[in-house]
Amino acid sequence: MTFLLDLNSLKMKIYEFAKILGILLDNAIEASSEYDEKIINITFRNDSKNNRQLIIIENTYKNKDIDLDKIFEKGVTEKRDHSGLGLWEIRQIIKKNNNANLYTSKTERFFSQQLELY
């Protein structure tokens, strides 16, 4: 695995970055574990052309009807015995950091989260 992201140059508190990354990875692991083909792809990339750092996490998933807007609401979860706060917390961190964006998308095969740090 090649790691092309300079953590020293993050324009975000390291504990906030770690929290976001932990939540996204936990969600990806749980979602892919419920699917026959268990795949998680993680990309760390420095996009110097656009002056940003990218972390892309994509995973296989079972629920193809997932509502990409609703999953960020407080208390929304598909996990049994969970609070539904993870993605909501990520949104709160991103809102207070004006140099970060999270783009969520899905295809028939992969659910994808792209974290961009400027």
> What residues does each domain of the chain span?
12-117
Predicted pLDDT of residue 80: 65
- Predicted TM-score (pTM) of this structure: 0.89
How is domain 12-117 classified at the CATH fold level? Heat Shock Protein 90 (3.30.565)
Average confidence score pLDDT of the chain:
90
Asked if 9 contacts 98 with a C-beta cutoff of 8 angstroms, the reply is no
For the segment 77-100, the average pLDDT, to the nearest whole number, is 86
Tokens (6 digits) for 79: 């996990």
- The whole-number pLDDT of residue 77 equals 74
47 or 10, greater pLDDT: 47
Q: DSSP E strands: which ranges in 3-118? A: 40-47, 52-60, 100-106, 110-117
Average pLDDT estimate for 6-11: 77
